[in-house]
Amino acid sequence: MILVTGATGHIGNVLVRELIAKGESVRALVMPSDDERPIADLPVDIAWGNVLVPITLERALEGIDTVYHLAGLVSIAPGQEELLESVNVGGTRNVIEACMKMGVRRLVYCSSIHAMVEPPPGIPIDESCGFDPSKSRGDYDRSKARASLEVLNAVEQGLDAVIVCPTGVIGPYDYLDSIMGQVIRDLASNSMKVLPAKGGYDFVDVRDVAAGLILAAEKGRTGEAYILSGNYIDINSLGALVDELCGQKPVRRPRVPMWLVQACANCSDFFCNVTGKKSRLTRYSIETLLSNANISSAKARQELGYSPRPLRESIADTLKWMAESDRLGTTA
C-alpha cells in the first residue's frame, strides 16, 4: 500500500488519482481541518493525522510500502519563517523518522525548484546546483532546502529516498485555488487589469508532476534529486494565451514599469505584516518572476523517462476544468 501526505493539495489529489488509475491501493494522510473535497469521491483509505504529530504518522504508516511526502506549507508572504520551518522542515523530519521506524521501503519527497541554489542568469539550473539554505532567496525556499537536506542526511543513515523538484505547478483539479490558479482565473475573467512590464517563469502541468513522482518512485536512484520542469512563458504572453484559449479578443493590459511594481510589492509586504492578510504581489513573487528560469529537466527525462506536455495543453485543460467546476467569472 502507498501513503500520500498532503493528499488534498493540488499535486496530492492528482497523484492519488494517477496511483488509483494504475491500480494501486492508496492511503491518504488528511488533517481533520483539511478540505476533503479534492479526494472525497476517490476510493482511498483515509488516515487522520498531522506531520507535526509523530504518533499519527506511525499509525498511518502501518502496512505501507512507499510514501510520497507532499504535505507542506507554500507561502510567498513575509513573516512566515517560524511556521515554514515547523511544517516544512520539522514535518519532513517527523516523516523521515516514522518511515525509518516503521520499515518503509521507499520515500519520495516532493521538494521545489526554489530549494535549489540559483546560478547567475544564463547558466541553466540543474541538479548539480544542489541545496544550500544559506543561499536561498526567501523563507519558503530556505525551508524546502533544509527539508531536502534532511532527506539526504537520512539516506546516509540507510533510508531509501529520492527527491523531486517541480517548477511552477499549474493544471486542473486545483480545488484549493493555488496562486497560479488564481492568476489564470483572473486573466480569464478579465479581472487582472494590468501586468508587470516583464518577467515570467517555467510552468509544469500538475499531471506531469504526478507522473514524475511515480517515475521517481519506480526508477529514481537513491539519494538523487530530479527536476520536473515544463515550459517557460513570460507573463504578458501568458495573458495573451489565456485570452486566445477563452475565445475572446486580446485584452489590452497596461504594462506597469518594474520600478513601480517593486515599490507596490514593498508596500504590499508591509500591509501583509501589519494585517496578517495575504497578497499575490510581494517582493518574493516579483523576484521569482525576474529570476533565472533557465531550468533543465534533462536528468529526469534521461533517467526516468519524464516527458512534460506542451504549456498550451496545460492552460487549455486548466480553463476547461475551471469552467466545468464554475470557477471562472466568465465562461471559458
Residues 6+ apart with CB under 8 A from 262: 283, 286
Q: Is 252 part of any domain?
A: no
Q: How many domains is the chain partitioned into structurally?
A: 1
Distances (CA, A) of 65 to 105, 156, 236, 300: 5, 20, 45, 23
pLDDT at res. 192: 81
Q: How confident is the model at residue 330 (pLDDT cuts 50, 70, 90)?
A: very low
> Model confidence over 216-230: pLDDT tens digits?
999 999 999 999 999
Mean pLDDT over residues 132-157, rounded? 95
Domain that holds residue 152: 2-176+202-231+294-308
Set of cell numbers at residue 40:
472525497
First to last CA, the chain: 39
Q: Is 98 part of any domain?
A: yes
Q: Is 238 part of any domain?
A: no
Q: How confident is the model at residue 271 (pLDDT cuts 50, 70, 90)?
A: low
Q: Is 187 part of any domain?
A: no
Of 116, 71, 76, 114, nearest in space to 96 by CA: 71
Distances (CA, A) of 51 to 30, 31, 302: 10, 9, 33
Mean pLDDT over residues 148-152, rounded? 98
Q: Is 151 part of any domain?
A: yes
pLDDT at res. 273: 64
> Model confidence over 81-139: pLDDT tens digits?
899 999 999 999 999 999 999 999 999 999 999 999 999 988 999 999 999 999 998 89
AA identity, residue 87: V
Instruction: Look over the chain and give the mean of its residue pLDDT values, rounded to a whole number.
Output: 91
pTM of the model: 0.92
Q: Is 92 part of any domain?
A: yes
Q: Is 244 part of any domain?
A: no
Query: Which domain CATH number covers 158?
Result: 3.40.50.720
Q: Contact at 8 Å (CB) between 234 and 198?
A: yes
Q: How confident is the model at residue 332 (pLDDT cuts 50, 70, 90)?
A: very low
Residues 6+ apart with CB under 8 A from 96: 107, 150, 151, 154, 159, 161
**Strands, sheet with 231-234, edge to edge from the N-terminal-most edge strand:** 168-170, 200-205, 231-234
Q: Is 253 part of any domain?
A: no
Reported for 221-225, long-range contacts at CB under 8 A and 24+ positions apart, including other chains, are 221/162, 221/303, 222/155, 222/160, 222/161, 222/162, 223/152, 223/155, 223/156, 223/161, 223/162, 224/127, 224/162, 224/163, 224/303, 225/111, 225/116, 225/127, 225/131, 225/148, 225/162, 225/163, 225/164, 225/165
Q: How confident is the model at residue 79 (pLDDT cuts 50, 70, 90)?
A: confident
